Structure formats: structure tokens, C-alpha cells
A = this chain, B = another copy of it.
Amino acid sequence: MSKVIRNGTVVTADRTWKADVLMQHGRIVAIGTDLHGDHEFDATGCYVMPGGIDPHTHLEMPFMGTYSADDFESGTRAAVAGGTTMVVDFCLPAPQQSLLEALQMWDNKTSKAACDYSFHMAITWWDRQVFDEMAQVVDKGIPSFKHFMAYKGALMVDDDEMYASFQRCAELGALPLVHAENGDVVAALSQKLLAEGNNGPEGHAYSRPPEVEGEATNRAIMIADMAGVPLYVVHVSCEQSHEAIRRARSKGMRVYGEPLIQHLTLDESEYFNRDWDHAARRVMSPPFRNRMHQDSLWAGLQSGSLQAVATDHCAFTTEQKRYGVGDFTKIPNGTGGLEDRMPVLWTRGVNTGRLTMNEFVAVTSTNIAKILNMYPQKGAIVEGADADIVVWDPKRTKTIAAGSQQSVIDYNVFEGMEVTGMPRFVFSRGELVVQETEMRTRPGHGAFVARKPNPAPNRALSTWKEITAPRRIERSGIPATGV
């Protein structure tokens, strides 16, 4: 049973042209003029784009005895509602827990996923077992490893462990990721703030200034360079961090940066709201920044020094947020965004001329698929690719409101924002999952996407590092000379 999207304009990361798209058995089978199929979907006036990929989500993430509120069911429903057809979530082993065991636990959560998904594995502790299991994790299709430089006493790893893990990544052809904030300093500033009576949500922002993020980014880059492996910096929120990335790239280091849709469009003034709930709902790490950082992030997307837009979707209800009344360090970190990423980025990016449509596709989908080495299975409109497609209606408009969202939480950080540009249809591996406001998701339809290690940038970097490796000096006897 074939489906065809007719009369639309195909927009990919590298071009824009009029074409119909024919799907069968979950794949794109033809792209051309005047195609026909069993079911036809009219894309007149619309752009036919690769479905969005969110490289950074936390669905049903364990937290202090509870879990982030959106699980793979509601989370992926929110995703597809906004045109995102794949999420990459983080598997977080507990200290001393086997990576493989953790992976099994995470896999168990995905049974109701409505769209495809993959995982990054977090390195939350280090010893020989972790070193060994990393190879198995890669074999299972997960060649990307996350490292937390913050969350001291919990997820944080130190430079030693990070170097060891990065070097292991280099051997395995895997990609290290970092959450870059200096955890020691965040912890110290937090204690100082609490001691001074700064216990409200704004204290969260005060405890993690841009300098603290910039420093950690810079450090991770150096360690990756020494280990000879590319690096992916998640949630780049500020100029300091972006500057470190640009500086590295200007020297030929292979570093990727991912801003979040939140940091691109929302700012720190939210934390100064007199309503505690309002502020607490925006608590995430890194926090929203002074508005001037936004220009930096947008410019990065334009110029290619930043490559991917994510959400770090990690939704907690107001009730959960209130765990932190009287102590901001206890407010669960995270906000939603899965449903909003694409419409908000289109509205603020494409409609303003900051991004071309092709750049929009690149940063929401194609670049991510390439960096995570699943291109062109994902992120592409080419024959043979998975039929993850969004038919984007640039005229459709709505006002974002928690009341009508897919996420199960009771608020939305983009509440009230008007967006222009939304999906008319969304297909996940050929299945129609969204038709305008109508959700047709089928829990369980989503499947794990296994990814291979050793993409071209890893191989190229390894070659270069080998060529430029330290060479032993041959000496004429030791010592060669008398004194």
C-alpha cells in the first residue's frame, strides 16, 4: 500500500524543488513529477521536508524517586505533533551499574514510542568494566557517549575519567558528548547563594553563569583534542561556550555545538518573574541567558559553527517543580519543548530571514543525522531513506498553549507565543501520524535506530592525529656528551 505526497515543494538541506514523494514499506521509493500511489496527500502550498530529529531528550528519566513526566508515549506524541519524527534519548547508568543493564532498562521504556528513537549512553562512572562495555554498547548501535561535567556527586565525571573515556571513544570510532558546566564551581556557588538566602529559582541561574559553561566547553574541547576524537557539546546556551567552539573549529578541531530552541528564544528575565512557579518551571541547566546571547546562537546556526537545534525535553509538572520551594537546588531541572521546536524555530528563524529553509532542515534534521551517523536513513528525502517526512504548511498558525499540547505537563514555557508554520501531515516510516490538529499516532510504532561507529570525521581525524603524533628522537648515546 503506497502513499504519495503530491504538489509540494521538497526542501532538503541542500536544495528546494517541486516534486512528489512516493512511499512504500516505510521508505521513500520515488521522488519525481506526477507520481501516484494508493493514498495521495495534497501538499499544495507546502514544503516537504525530512522529519525533525531531536538529538537530546529525557523521557521518563528517573529523578529523586520519581520520573520526568513525559514518557516515550506522550513524549513522542508531542514530538510528531510538532513535526519531529525521531528522538535520541539518554541512557543514564547509576553509579557502578553495568552500561548494558542500564540500556536494557531504558529499552524497556520505549514500548509505546510513536516514532523512531535512538540512545546516547552516559558515562557516569569509570573503571575497566565501563571501558569494556563501551565496545558492546557500540556494537548494539549506540556509538555516542554522554559526559556530565556538572551534577557533582551524581552524574559528574572528572577530567581524568573524561580523558580516558574520550580516548576510548577515539578507539571505538564513537562520538563523545558533553554537558559542559564546571560542576565544582556550580556546587560552590549554589552553596554560597543558599547561605546568603538566595534560595529562589533565580538562584539557579545565578549559580551557573555563562562563564561556568564556557570554561567547561573549553576544557572538554581540549580533552577531545588530546584524545584525538570529535566532540559534540549539548545545549550550548551562551556566547562563552560558542566562542570556545568557534575558536576550536578555527584551528581545525572537529567540534559540534547544539543550541536549544529555548535558549534561542527565551531569556533570563523569566527567572525574575515574581511568580515562583513561573520561574521554577523555566529551571533547566544551563539556564536561560541574557538576551544578547541569542544573537550569538542564531549566528552560529547561520554560519555553521553550531549545527543542531534540540530541546533537552525533560518535562516536570509544577507539582514536581515545587520540590524545590525554599531551595532552588532541589527544583527538578528541565523544560519541555518537543512539540514546539520546529514551529518556533521556523517562526523566529525562517520567517525572519535568519535561516533559509534549507538551513532549517539542516539544523533540525539533516546535520543531526549526519553527525550521529544515521544519514541518509534519517534526515534525508532520498530514495531508500526512511519515510520520516513532515509536510510543512508555512501559513498554518497557532498560539502555543499548555491547554492544547500533547505533553502531559500543566504548562508550557512558550505559552502565548504565536507561531506561523506548522505541519499539515507528518509521516513516521510511511505511517501518517499527524494530520493537522488530528493525532493518529500508534504507540509502539516507533523502533530503535541502530547507528554505526566510525563516520568519516572520526576516520579523518584519526589519520591526522597519527600523522602528527609525537615522534621519538633518536639519540647518539645517553648521555652523548660529557658535562
Contacts and interface: CB of A to CB of B under 8 A. Distances in A.
A464 B352 contact: yes
A457 B184 contact: no
Interface residues of A, number: 107
B200 A184 contact: no
The secondary structure that dominates the A interface is helix
Given A163-B184, A277-B481, A249 B456 contact: no
B304 A304 contact: yes
Contact of A463 (B276, B352, B466): B352
A15 B252 contact: no
A390 B184 CA distance: 47
A23 interface: no
Interface stretch (A392-400, A414-422, A471-479): A471-479
Contacts of A353: 459-467
B254 A250 contact: no
A479 B322 contact: yes
A225 B272 CA distance: 23
A37 interface: no
Interface in A70-90: none
Interface stretch (A137-145, A308-316, A355-363): A355-363
Contacts of A218: 215, 218-219
A232 interface: no
A346 to B, nearest CB: 13
Contact of A295 (B252, B466, B476): B252
Interface stretch (A56-64, A96-104, A203-211, A427-435): A203-211
A250 to B, nearest CB: 6
A354 B274 contact: no
A456 B13 CA distance: 12
B188 A375 contact: no
A392 to B, nearest CB: 15
A426 interface: no
Given A160-B188, A163-B185, A355-B460, A198 B472 contact: yes
Contacts of A132: none
Given A164-B188, A246-B246, A480-B275, A292 B295 contact: no
Given A355-B460, A464-B354, A222 B226 contact: no
A206 B462 contact: no
A215 B219 contact: yes
A68 interface: no
A470 B184 CA distance: 19
A459 B481 CA distance: 45
A223 interface: yes
A40 interface: no
A405 interface: no
Interface in A438-453: none
A226 B212 contact: yes
A299 to B, nearest CB: 4
Contacts of A14: 13-14, 366, 370, 375-376
B305 A250 contact: yes
Given A298-B252, A470-B206, A473-B202, A185 B478 contact: no
Given A353-B459, A358-B456, A456-B16, A276 B475 contact: yes
A172 interface: no
Interface in A254-279: 254, 271-279
A193 interface: yes
A475 B250 contact: no
Contacts of A212: 222, 226
The 5 A-B residue pairs with the shortest CB-CB distance in the complex, in nearest-first order: A353-B463, A353-B464, A252-B299, A249-B303, A206-B470
13 contacts: A14-B366, A14-B370, A160-B188, A182-B219, A193-B470, A202-B470, A212-B226, A219-B219, A249-B304, A249-B305, A252-B299, A278-B481, A355-B460
Given A322-B479, A356-B460, 4 more contacts: A250-B305, A271-B473, A273-B473, A355-B460
